[in-house]
Amino acid sequence: MASASTSKYNSHSLENESIKRTSRDGVNRDLTEAVPRLPGETLITDKEVIYICPFNGPIKGRVYITNYRLYLRSLETLSSHWRFEVDTCLFQDSSLILDVPLGVISRIEKMGGATSRGENSYGLDITCKDMRNLRFALKQEGHSRRDMFEILTRYAFPLAHSLPLFAFLNEEKFNVDGWTVYNPVEEYRRQGLPNHHWRITFINKCYELCDTYPALLVVPYRASDDDLRRVATFRSRNRIPVLSWIHPENKTVIVRCSQPLVGMSGKRNKDDEKYLDVIRETNKQISKLTIYDARPSVNAVANKATGGGYESDDAYHNAELFFLDIHNIHVMRESLKKVKDIVYPNVEESHWLSSLESTHWLEHIKLVLTGAIQVADKVSSGKSSVLVHCSDGWDRTAQLTSLAMLMLDSFYRSIEGFEILVQKEWISFGHKFASRIGHGDKNHTDADRSPIFLQFIDCVWQMSKQFPTAFEFNEQFLIIILDHLYSCRFGTFLFNCESARERQKVTERTVSLWSLINSNKEKFKNPFYTKEINRVLYPVASMRHLELWVNYYIRWNPRIKQQQPNPVEQRYMELLALRDEYIKRLEELQLANSAKLSDPPTSPSSPSQMMPHVQTHF
């Protein structure tokens, strides 16, 4: 466990729970002691390098590479110009520590050639997926750079070298098993399913109906398995409309799917039309089914050229279609790149706002939130069932359904509820984590990569910012999820879909991220959390309230470092502790009094003199 003294500095960085603290003597340290290691982690090599810190300048250090991480310890003690207790760097015994899981590396480049002059111009430049770059300068003589490059490449991109991802080597043990957090049958039962309109089907038990869907699906009671098979032929990648969430009172539902295969000729499919009508009829309150197509309408039209499309009015009489204008994965990827440009390594100062605007990142966040609000509002007050899709129904669709569910259902705002939401809407319904993140893959320019899940977590953060008492989890919870989205230490975010995970026996061979989090829950709790059942949360999707998530995107910059924990939270925790102390005291007094019965009080001094009095101002 990280001790109290170090946790002050690594509050933003990756977890080090199972890391033993390094010995204090400092001299003659055995290599195996110098690097913290997880069970199953092995040291591959170490090299003397100069770490070129973008905030404080170059510093000499020794870098250790294991099959899981890159670990740097500075050799010089820090001179006075090292003014920052940088988050990236844990300071131990006044040396600088850099601890980076190899999974976050997206690209390794050599800088400078054999003829390079200039100080520190020869070395490696490492681009990370978590909004930072690492630069190391190496000696030109020997083959230290070549060695380091090859070893890093090998272990950062194991899939290109027929090596396993670290999650399969990790032998960590936790006292709770995160893989049991999500049980689809239990989750649907919580929602009151099956009921007389909706049934659970095992038609996809062996993933033969749809290889990217989970084994267990909830479909209308009146649709037979044969109906489902016929509908599957008309939906992109056979991702048929299935239930995600049902409103506990008005019984309207959120249904998710992929686009219909309308194509240029405007094909129709009676089974699909009938199926949507059956979904509509499960809700007697309104005569229309609402379809939200997450894409901008031009893109939906353009998709016809490749066989896709959208539900036309003539084919689907009883449906109303709205486009939500959310852009595709490529636009999001470029937008995040621009965010990195303005925050790393230096934060744009005088033109901060216009630079931020030019990234469009918050504009995309706004559109995703706006879409989710519409879905939630339709279900909650519009009393209409809703069908959500984009092209394939695994990116924008997952964002919209999961955010709408977060707004509608307070259960998902608890720590375990949120884990279930992620496990259900993202992991089981086939968000392509492997392709979107590119785990262990060296092709950093792959057009399949896109920060869709990050964008979702950002939306959740925006909501938690607007409703600071509505979520059981805190910012650290969201950050640790994102850190392990890339780290490959856990099996949670590996692979594209449930069938692939099953083939790889992920639940048997890897550890779940929820094991780490749930065995250490206190750390991720929001002290202000007030549980409120049945309260619908509508965030305000206006630029006036949306903010760049500084504690995530700019966390490497020590100048922007926010106080952790935030002072208001700190104050509240103090009060909580004081309250508990008083309650205990009061109980003691009560006991003492009942024991003494009618004896007069003996204590001459007032307790207020012994205890600190509360200051009423803040």
Residues 80-109 that bind other proteins (CB under 8 A): 83-85
Q: Which two tokens stand for residue 364?
A: 């995309």
Question: 72 and 63 in contact (C-beta within 8 Å)?
Answer: yes
Nearer to other proteins, 80 or 162 (CB): 80
Concatenating the DSSP letter of every residue in 133-182 gives EEEEE--SSTTHHHHHHHHHHHHHSGGGGT---GGGT-----SS-GGGS-
Q: Does the annotation list 393 as a binding residue?
A: yes
| SS3 state at 321 | strand
List 281, 325, 416, 502, residue binding other proteins (CB under 8 A): 325
User: Between 486 and 515, how does the x/- string for binding to other proteins read (CB under 8 A)?
Assistant: ------------------------------
79 contacts other proteins (rule: CB under 8 A): no
208 contacts other proteins (rule: CB under 8 A): no
How many Cα neighbours within 13 Å face the side chain of 592?
10
58 contacts other proteins (rule: CB under 8 A): no
4 contacts other proteins (rule: CB under 8 A): no
Q: Does the annotation list 291 as a binding residue?
A: no
CA dihedral 504, 508, 509, 513 (to 10 degrees): 100
Question: 209 and 232 in contact (C-beta within 8 Å)?
Answer: yes
List 98, 390, 420, 457, residue binding other proteins (CB under 8 A): 390
Q: What are phi and psi of 464, to 5 degrees?
A: -70, -25
CA atoms of 524 and 514, how far apart (whole Å):
12
Q: Which residues are registered as beta bridge partners of 57?
A: 53
Residues 237-276 that bind other proteins (CB under 8 A): 261, 263
List 109, 561, 565, 595, residue binding other proteins (CB under 8 A): 561
591 contacts other proteins (rule: CB under 8 A): no
The residues near 389 (Cβ < 8 Å, ≥ 6 apart) are: 241, 256, 257, 258, 259, 291, 292, 293, 294, 397
Q: How far is the CB of 51 from other proteins (least distance, A)?
A: 18
Residue 535 is which amino acid?
R
Nearer to other proteins, 29 or 351 (CB): 351
608 contacts other proteins (rule: CB under 8 A): yes
The Cα-based distances of 291 to 102, 218, 393 in angstroms read 42, 18, 13
Residues 395-424 that bind other proteins (CB under 8 A): 395
Number of H helices, E strands in the chain: 21, 15
Where does this chain touch other proteins (CB under 8 A) — which range of 15-23, 207-215, 310-318, 375-383? 375-383
160 contacts other proteins (rule: CB under 8 A): no
Residues 335-364 that bind other proteins (CB under 8 A): 335, 347-354, 356-357, 360, 362-363
Nearer to other proteins, 167 or 367 (CB): 367
Q: Which of 53, 210, 257, 390 is catalytic?
A: 390
**Angle (CA) 438 156 515, round 5°:** 75
CA atoms of 213 and 498, how far apart (whole Å):
7
Give the chain's length: 618
The residues near 456 (Cβ < 8 Å, ≥ 6 apart) are: 368, 398, 399, 402, 403, 426
377 contacts other proteins (rule: CB under 8 A): yes
List 121, 298, 341, 591, residue binding other proteins (CB under 8 A): 298
List 282, 374, 384, 455, residue binding other proteins (CB under 8 A): 374
Nearer to other proteins, 81 or 173 (CB): 81
CB burial of residue 194 (10 Å; 0-12, 13-18, 19+): middle
CA atoms of 375 and 380, how far apart (whole Å):
9
570 contacts other proteins (rule: CB under 8 A): yes
Nearer to other proteins, 210 or 511 (CB): 210
The residues near 150 (Cβ < 8 Å, ≥ 6 apart) are: none
Q: How far is the CB of 419 from other proteins (least distance, A)?
A: 23
Nearer to other proteins, 36 or 539 (CB): 539
54 contacts other proteins (rule: CB under 8 A): no
31 contacts other proteins (rule: CB under 8 A): no
Q: How far is the CB of 288 from other proteins (least distance, A)?
A: 19
Q: How far is the CB of 356 from other proteins (least distance, A)?
A: 6
Q: How far is the CB of 563 from other proteins (least distance, A)?
A: 7
Tell me the site size for other proteins, rule CB under 8 A: 109
Closest CA to 391 of 184, 129, 212: 212
Q: Does the annotation list 227 as a binding residue?
A: no
Q: Does the annotation list 390 as a binding residue?
A: yes
Q: Does the annotation list 146 as a binding residue?
A: no
Nearer to other proteins, 136 or 552 (CB): 552
| SS3 state at 52 | strand
List 308, 438, 451, 491, residue binding other proteins (CB under 8 A): 308
Q: Which two tokens stand for residue 577?
A: 């502790």
The Cα-based distances of 573 to 330, 463, 473, 520, 566 in angstroms read 43, 22, 15, 18, 11
Nearer to other proteins, 7 or 466 (CB): 466
579 contacts other proteins (rule: CB under 8 A): yes
Decide if 89 is catalytic.
Answer: no
CA atoms of 372 and 397, how far apart (whole Å):
10
206 contacts other proteins (rule: CB under 8 A): no
Residues 440-469 that bind other proteins (CB under 8 A): 447-448, 466-469
Q: How far is the CB of 52 from other proteins (least distance, A)?
A: 18
285 contacts other proteins (rule: CB under 8 A): no
Cα dihedral 72, 77, 81, 87 sign? positive
Where does this chain touch other proteins (CB under 8 A) — which range of 62-70, 310-318, 513-521, 593-601? 593-601
List 185, 266, 532, 591, residue binding other proteins (CB under 8 A): 532
Residues that are catalytic: 390
- Which residues are annotated as part of the binding site for substrate? 328-329, 390-396
Q: Residues marked as binding?
A: 328-329, 390-396
